[in-house]
Amino acid sequence: MTPVRVLLVDDQALFREALAVLLGAAAGLEVVGEAGDGEEAVRQVAATGPDVVLMDLRMPVLDGVAATRRIRAEHPATQVIALTTFDDDADVFAALRAGALGYLLKDVSSERLVEAVRAAARGESVLQPSVAAKVVARFAQLPDAEAEPPPQPLVVPLSDREREVLRLLAEGRSNREIAAALFLAEGTVKNHVTNVLGKLGVRDRTQAALRAARLGLIP
């Protein structure tokens, strides 16, 4: 199996070194480079072709949001996860608008971080639970003029189990965490998530949470 290639971007060398050790020890991951600022990150992406970039946001020379925007425009196959200390609204929505697929805080567990990198490589969004709540709340507050037309009801309704999975998914839970909460096998949860995305007609977990909120499927 081809390993997931990861680029680490942070202006703190010690933090990058710790991340490199952590991810380098995880099965199926390969750290292919590091960068200390956004400008260097853009160059490193061009040079190393990573699948996933772990991107700090507040850095010198070029910040993480601007770097993410350039990377996504110039290298659309490379996914970016914001990995930062801050979860204020301005940072969260700026990173997501720039094209970041995920947003995690630096206090994330090593297990969840590794799982998030693997998920991002598959094109799945990964959000800290607090960030997922912000996204859904912001969408719910949009005035009617900015919102999309009222969504059509689902052609195929969700089962009770799929609704449970959707609720936990919208809270930012990983498949493993959903499996533990519902006493299911992780593979079973993965199948449920696939079915939920299909029935909602969306591509990733963030879009699923937003559409579910519009349809009144989650609080």
CB contact set of 171 (below 8 Å; sequence gap of 6+): 129, 132, 133
Residue 126: its H or E element: strand 126-127
**Range 89-105 average pLDDT:** 83
Report whether 140 contacts 213 (CB < 8 A). Answer: yes
In order of their start, the domains of the chain are: 4-127 (3.40.50.2300), 142-215 (1.10.10.10)
Determine the angle formed by the axes of helices 186-200 and 175-182, rounding to 10 degrees: 110
- pLDDT: which is higher, 18 or 88: 18
Confidence of residue 145 (pLDDT cuts 50, 70, 90): very low
pLDDT in tens, 37-62: 999 999 999 999 999 999 998 888 88
Confidence of residue 194 (pLDDT cuts 50, 70, 90): confident
Residue 52's beta-bridge partner residues? 6, 79
Q: What is the CA radius of gyration of the chain?
A: 17
Residue 24 and residue 12: Cα distance in Å, rounded?
A: 18
Q: Provide the pLDDT for residue 35.
A: 93
∠117-120-121 over CA atoms, to 5°?
90
pLDDT over 50 (residue 146): no
Single pTM value for the model: 0.70
Residue 121 and residue 206: Cα distance in Å, rounded?
A: 16
Pick from 38-47, 79-88, 130-139, 169-178: least confident = 130-139
Residue 127's beta-bridge partner residues? 103
Q: Provide the pLDDT for residue 78.
A: 93
Residue 178 and residue 191: Cα distance in Å, rounded?
A: 12
Distances (CA, A) of 212 to 34, 201, 208: 38, 11, 6
Q: In what order do the strands lie in the sheet with 4-9?
A: 29-35, 4-9, 52-55, 79-84, 102-105, 126-127
Determine the angle formed by the axes of helices 186-200 and 160-170, rounding to 10 degrees: 90
Token pair for 149: 């037309």
**Range 112-122 average pLDDT:** 88
